[in-house]
Structure 1
Amino acid sequence: MKKFSFLAAVCALLVAAAPALAATELSVFAAASMNESMTEIAEMYKKVAPDVSIVYNFDSSGTLKTQIEQGAECDIFISAGQKQMDQINDSHVMPGTRFNIVSNKVVLIVPKGNNPTGIASFDDIATDKVTLIALGNSDVPVGQYSEEIFKHMGVWDKLNGENKISFASNVKEVLAQTESAAVSCGVVYGTDAATSDKVDVVAGAPEGSHKPIVYPAAILKGTKHEAAAKAFVEYLKGPEATAVFERIGFSIPEK
């Protein structure tokens, strides 16, 4: 009788564990600037689809694009720039699934309460008010937008020639350098600045100085979980996810 009870208990545990063992794991590669919003959305999605586990890989869009090209398993890719999605569009993106998920803006930040030279605008970057500025490197969308801005202003070569730039591998590193006052200022997305209590925003990018900042998202051809990926993408387009994006500071592109 005891032996039967033990076997029955084991069987009951296996049956109870079956849904968890069968859970679908979605791999989502997302731009570093989406960390806070996407993490919150994943928690919300547990109530909608408890059998789906969202696993994120947050990094610069260029790094994520390279990982995808090198064969990394990824179901959904969200880039902070069109360029990175364009580069894998034909080879890796599932046709008909690409869409623009959010828009952002670029701002100039300084360490909170630590702006002794009075940096107040992008025009100050090329002056003695700035010793060092943190920017994303050329493989990072925020770095590409920064370069566009300073080329538009005619000071890009001057900043490089004077070694005024501390290049970072992604936008979160730019934010961290500025938070720690390792630099005089930094250029980040408005959403990154909004999530930090260690920086002050002193200016927005000059009007017309860079391309629109629109984040494309897509399901990848190699996904093994097409139905689950499509369901999560639809949730990202819905009102609950939209509310999170907008609260953090993103805007929703017009359809």
Structure 2
Amino acid sequence: MIVSKLFKFSILLSILSLFTVPLTANAATELTVFAAASTTESMNMIAEAYKKSTPDVKILFNFDSSGTLKTQIENGAYCDVYISAGQKQMNQLDIKADPKINTKKLDFLAEGTRFNLVSNKVVLIVPKGHNPKGIKDFKDAVTDKVGIISLGNLDVPVGLYSKEIYESLDLWDKLKSMNKISYASTVKVVLSQVAEGAADCGLVFRTDAATSKAVDVVAEAPQGSHRPIAYPAAIMKETKNMEAAAAFVKFLKGPECEKIFNSIGFSVIGK
């Protein structure tokens, strides 16, 4: 009788285990990472690498312009880690930043987590194999070689850098007055406009050009023509997964991610 009861109890435990195992397997931690559009390819590769070493953490990305991501965070969107393509957008969320930039006194960054992840360069691109007028210099934008030039909006990091470049060449006001600029909401839209031939040329980050087979790079921005390009990253103060977020940020700083960033065309800051 006792043996029979034990046998029935063991069967009951076995049945219950069928239901409890999937629950354990599905209890993965989810990290929401807001990342600048220009990091799309590298961050997707990094997520795949991280999955192999840390399978119990799932990375959920939100890719968009740094300005749009900043606004979403400010308006209450949940985010564990924010990676911007420009300092301005991160500064606007950082209580320690210049109050002339963080005019709303926003305080979204977890103490001591902000750092500069990678750097980039701005390049001039044309459609792949189609450059009949021989565009080869940033100054060509104000000549008859260019009918339409695609630039990022001025609330997008690549747009701000583009403006600085043409200001340094003393050509910004002239370029604006010529009605040649097609403004784009993200650097990926600039890339698409040029790749599809909707624009004769455009300014993008070197890493974006490197991931496209539909454009050619004809020039790099002149040395000193814009502020240094650094991508700041930080953990958000309101994260519900501080330990997991910190572990992911540590991984971002590691040698495996350095190889991935370098393969796309980024330079790891401090290396």
Q: Indicate whether the TM-score tops 0.5.
A: yes
Relative to the length of structure 2, the TM-score reads 0.90
Task: Pick the structure with greater CA Rg.
Answer: 2
Counterpart Cα distance in 1 of 2:204 and 2:11: 59
Using the TM superposition, give the Cα deviation of residue 123 of structure 1 relative to its aligned residue in structure 2, in angstroms.
1.4
Contact 1:19 1:51 in 2 (8 A): no
> Distance between the aligned counterparts of 2:15 and 2:150, measured in 1?
58
Among 55, 59, 67, the alignment partner of 2:60 is: 55
Q: Give 1:212's aligned residue.
A: 228
- Residues 1:250 and 2:261 are matched in the alignment: no
Q: Which amino acid aligns with 1:217?
A: A
In 1, distance between residues paired with 2:37 and 2:188? 7
Q: 1:155 aligns with which of 150, 171, 182?
A: 171
Structure 1 alignment gaps of length 5 or more: none
What is the CA–CA distance in structure 2 between the aligned matches of 1:71 and 1:99, rounded to whole Å? Answer: 23
| SS of 1:176 mapped into structure 2 | helix
Q: Distance in 2 between matches of 1:10 and 1:248?
A: 50
Matches within 5 A, 1:1-255: 10-90=15-95, 91-254=107-270
| Residue matched to 2:98 | none
Structure 1 position 30, deviation (Å)? 0.3
Deviation at 1:207, TM superposition (A): 1.2
Cα deviation for residue 56 of structure 1 reads: 0.2
Q: 2:200 corresponds to which letter in structure 1?
A: S
What amino acid does structure 2 have at the position aligned with 1:139?
A: D
**Amino acid across the alignment from 2:70:** K
Which of 168-177 and 149-158 deviates more?
A: 149-158
Question: How far, CA to CA, are the matches of 2:137 and 2:10 in structure 1?
Answer: 75
Give per-residue Cα distances to partners, 1:86-140, cap 9 Å, x unaligned.
Answer: 0001210011000000000000000001111100111111111000000000110
State the match for 2:101 in structure 1. Answer: none
| 1:18 CA displacement | 2.5
Task: Give the helix-richer structure, 1 or 2.
Answer: 1
- Aligned residue for 1:92, secondary structure, equals coil
Unmatched 5+ residue regions in structure 2?
Answer: 96-106
Q: For residues 175 and 123 of structure 1, what CA distance do their matches in structure 2 show?
A: 19
Residue aligned with 1:151, SS: helix
Work out the CA distance in 1 between the residues paired with 2:189 and 2:126: 14
Q: Residue 197 of structure 1: CA displacement?
A: 0.5
Q: Where in structure 1 do 4 or more consecutive aligned residues deviate above 4 Å?
A: 3-10
Amino acid aligned to 1:39: N
Deviation digits for residues 234-254 of structure 1 (CA, Å, limit 9, x no counterpart): 000000011100111000112
The CA distance in 2 between the partners of 1:173 and 1:103, in whole Å, is 21
- Does the residue aligned with 1:101 lie in a helix, a strand or coil? strand
Q: Normalising to structure 1: TM-score of the pair? A: 0.96
Contact 1:130/1:185, CA 8 A, preserved across alignment: yes
Quickly say closer, same or farther: Cα 1:10–1:202, change in 2 above 3 A: farther
SS in 2 for 1:12: helix
With over 3 angstroms needed to count, the CA separation of the structure-2 counterparts of 1:6 and 1:167, relative to structure 1, is farther
* RMSD between aligned residues: 1.6
CA distance in structure 1 between the aligned counterparts of 2:165 and 2:76, rounded to whole angstroms:
34
Residues in 2 aligned to 1:50 and 1:237: alpha-carbon distance in whole angstroms: 19
Deviations 1:200-253 (A, max 9, x none): 000000111100000000000010000000000000000001110011100011
Number of residue-to-residue matches in the alignment: 254
